[in-house]
A and B are shown apart, each in its own frame.
Chain A
Amino acid sequence: MKKVKKVIFMAVVILISLVSVIPFYFILSMATHDTAAIYRSELWGFGDQLLVNLTTIFNGGFTVYYRNTIYVAVLSGFFCVLISAMAAYGLSVYKFAAKDGIKRFIIASMMIPGQISLIGYAIEMRQLHLVNTHAPLIFTWFASAYGVFFIVQYMTNSLPMELIESARIDGSGELRTFFSIAFPLIRPAVGTLFMLIFLWSWNNFLMPSTVLTENNKFTIPLGIQTLSTAYRDDWGARGAALALSVIPLLIIFAIGSKYFIKGLAAGAVKG
């Protein structure tokens, strides 16, 4: 009886998981066919047009989109992690009057939807002559309430105050204590936060579409929009563009899933 139940559970779980991945399968198979084959509905199997489609896409400027996106996502992640970790350290290690107020403020500000600042931000960036640069896409991650909240939570559990105190007694300066003692201890949280910001920055569409108009500055989401219009009739090329923009990221995150799943769950389980 127990075994039958387990088999049924397994079947349900496998069926749902198939639904989760099957669109990716079709994207991959599309990338290997030419348009005529797609019209003939040969999508359940793979074709031999992958190289042709990839060439089309790379000639269409996909490498530039890739480079821009990686550059923006890495810098966004770096600054967000650094600024959040510093703020979290300030909130965790020191005792001062405004501390609880600041913590409450940070949690409350996580609930505010970002688009109320969008127009003001776009005008601000225009006045600073930063339109068609990548700076606005990176600045927007500098002050992340989520980032501070996440690292504060981690520090409460895994940053022993005694260690900080004894470093001070040994004559370590405040900055050195942070960078050479605290930072290594919170590495798992830093890694998780970096992955999340990298992902959110990579996927961001609304912000780049307000500040970028030049094709050679585009990030992948804007590139997908451009290519899906440009290759309206070349379905194979469209499949290749989708596959290239989605699959590498999925592989990276599947490998690192242990870390970033923790990060996604952190807000719900403790908050």
Chain B
Amino acid sequence: MKTKRRSSLAKWPYIYLAPFFISYFLFFIFPTFYSLFISFTDWDSLVGEAGRQFVGFANYVRLFTKDKLFFKAMGNTFLFMIIYIPLLIIGGLVLAVLLYQLKRSSRFFQTVNILPYITTPVAIGVIFATLFDTTTGIVNKTLALIGLFDDPVNWLGNPATARFIVILMIVWKNFGYYLLIYLAGLSTIPEEISEAAKVDGANAFQVFWRITVPYLRPMTVFLVLTSIISGFQLYDEPYLLYSSQNSVMGGPQRSCMTAIMYFYDQTFKSSTRLGYGAAVSYGLFVIIMIVSMIVSRLIDKKEQ
């Protein structure tokens, strides 16, 4: 009796998992391999499938040896990440520790600071373009009002300040998320530990450095790894920073062009070469995998 019931249950997990795996195959696995196949071809999307030619590794060879713009885009992306990830980690950690001590009002401030994170990224690009506009932007108006600069600063017009705006935008947007993750982590630290350390004569800084920081290590690892993956996907905000101006993609001297911006531009906008675009997306994927592997190796090594 019992074995019969068990065996009648055997098909059920597969029935429950079927919708997920069928959709996963149709809408992810198949298109992923289709992209891989396309990346070995020369195919202009304006002509039909008849115009598709198999070219082997030619797209990849060109991407990794000749494509200066791809390297420029990767360089920009690395530069942004090297600056904003440490800023977010340190800022988020310090504010989380401060906020954690203000127990009662902590949820209110957590909610206020998460608002930028849930704001539509496209809107963030336009908002910052508006705030930092040379003639109408409130930033220049305010700077003139307090007499700091008499001449309006052309924030979006030259590479250094444009990059500064992009980093500011990312930090503004993600700060609340880092705060949220660290606050969640802080609530897992048993209070007795830091109490005991204080009894033993440790000051606040020592408690922070010797107990809080090591305890929050898993969250830091999570944030660094996911920030690297999402950092390579950066697109909406810097793209929209320049959408309402007749400027080249990626701002002055392409200083804010990101990897995905280049991918999208090659595939759907300034050129329609699907084959090359697919190679760009796989090249990017390989780089993401290598970088996150190196970073997690480094983390593991430090742990031992």
Chain A residues within CB distance 8 Å of chain B: 6, 9-10, 12-13, 16-17, 19-21, 23-24, 26-27, 30, 35, 38-39, 41, 43-44, 82-84, 86-87, 89-91, 93-94, 96, 99, 102, 111-121, 123-124, 139-140, 142-143, 148, 168, 174, 178, 199, 202-203, 205-206, 209-210, 220-221, 224-225, 228-229, 232, 235, 238-239, 242, 245-246, 249-250, 253-254, 257-258, 261, 264-265, 267-269, 271
Q: Which residue of A lies closest to B31 (CB)?
A: A120
Nearest 6 A/B pairs, CB to CB: A90-B16, A120-B34, A120-B31, A142-B23, A143-B24, A41-B141
Please pick, from B19, B95, B135, B226, the residue contacting A13 in the complex, using a CB distance under 8 A: B95
Q: Which residue of B lies closest to A258 (CB)?
A: B107
Given the contacts A90-B16, A90-B17, A224-B122, A121 and B27 also touching, CB distance less than 8 Å: yes
A38 and B38 contact, CB distance less than 8 A = no
Please pick, from A93, A142, A235, the residue contacting B136 in the complex, using a CB distance under 8 A: A235
B16 and A116 contact, CB distance less than 8 A = no
Q: Which residue of A lies closest to B184 (CB)?
A: A265
A111-B282 Cα distance, complex, nearest whole Å: 15
* CB of B210, distance to nearest CB on chain A (Å): 20
B246-290 CB contact bits vs A (8 Å, 1 = yes)? 000000000000001001100110000010011001101100100
* CB of B279, distance to nearest CB on chain A (Å): 10
A116-B280 Cα distance, complex, nearest whole Å: 9
Can you list 29 A-B contacts (CB < 8 A)? A9-B102, A10-B102, A13-B95, A20-B116, A20-B175, A26-B130, A86-B17, A87-B19, A94-B9, A94-B16, A96-B13, A116-B32, A116-B35, A118-B31, A119-B31, A120-B37, A120-B38, A121-B31, A178-B16, A199-B118, A203-B121, A205-B121, A225-B240, A246-B120, A253-B118, A254-B111, A257-B110, A261-B110, A271-B222
A178-B58 Cα distance, complex, nearest whole Å: 52
B222 and A102 contact, CB distance less than 8 A = no
Q: What count of chain B residues pass the 8 Å CB interface test? A: 94
Contacts of B127 in A (CB 8 A): 23, 26-27, 242
Of the candidates B5, B130, B176, the one having the most CB atoms from chain A within 10 angstroms of its own CB is: B130
Please pick, from A20, A83, A102, the residue contacting B112 in the complex, using a CB distance under 8 A: A20
Of the candidates B27, B99, B120, B263, the one having the most CB atoms from chain A within 10 angstroms of its own CB is: B120
Query: Interface residues of B: mostly helix, strand, loop or mixed?
Result: helix
A242 and B126 contact, CB distance less than 8 A = yes
* CB of A189, distance to nearest CB on chain B (Å): 16
A269-B115 Cα distance, complex, nearest whole Å: 21
Flag whether B177 is at the interface (Cβ < 8 A).
Answer: yes
Q: Which residue of B lies closest to A254 (CB)?
A: B111
